Amino acid sequence: MRQLAMLALLMTLVAPGAAFAVQPDEILKDPVLEGRARELSRELRCMVCQNQSIDDSDAPLARDLRLLVRQRLQAGDSDRQVIDFLVARYGEFVLLKPRLEAHTLLLWGLAPAALLVAVIGLLLMARRRRPAPSQAEPLSPDEQKRLATLVGPSAGEP
């Protein structure tokens, strides 16, 4: 009985990772086309959820996009043609990973540029920083007199 309870607990913990939003009526009969559809669906952003792929989203729009991907594949479109069709219809935002093109260079280049500026700034700060002197300079006679008056006559003498 205890083993059965442990198995049920394990299945409960593992099952959410295996759950997908794709409904049984969406799945294509051809396993090759279905594999391509699933791969494409993982690359496309749900316009409602925004940080989920349409493969993971339960939103009605995501379902419509999954069906559209499958229709385009059944019509004979290549993966690139399906992606191009969706980008033309919904814009670059539909892609979870934007393409590296002239108008997305800022998006792709800003993070490495910021990292480079930070590293250069840290190196410049490290170069300008002076090392602490290894040995303190001895006090001048005037400084010794001032210290003696502040501390008192018995502090420094044995």
Pairwise pLDDT comparison (126 vs 120), residue with the higher score? 120
Considering the chain, what is the average pLDDT of its residues?
81
Distance between CA atoms of 68 and 63, rounded to whole angstroms? Answer: 9
Its CATH class, for the domain covering 17-94, is mainly alpha
Residue owning tokens 């930070």 = 118
Q: Which long-range contacts (C-beta less than 8 Å, at least 24 apart) are formed by 131-136?
A: none
Q: Is there a contact between 49 and 96 (Cβ–Cβ < 8 Å)?
A: no
Secondary structure element (H or E) that encloses residue 121, with its range: helix 105-128
Closest CA to 73 of 63, 85, 57, 61: 85
DSSP at 136: P
The pLDDT of residue 81 is 94
Model pLDDT for residues 60-116, shown as the tens digit of each residue: 898 899 999 999 999 999 999 999 999 999 888 888 887 777 777 777 788 888 999
Whole-model pTM above 0.85? Answer: no
CA of residue 56 relative to chain centroid, distance? 18
Q: Is there a contact between 54 and 46 (Cβ–Cβ < 8 Å)?
A: yes
The answer, yes or no, to whether residue 18 has pLDDT greater than 70, is no
Least confident span in 14-18, 32-36, 38-42, 134-138: 14-18
The pLDDT of residue 154 is 61
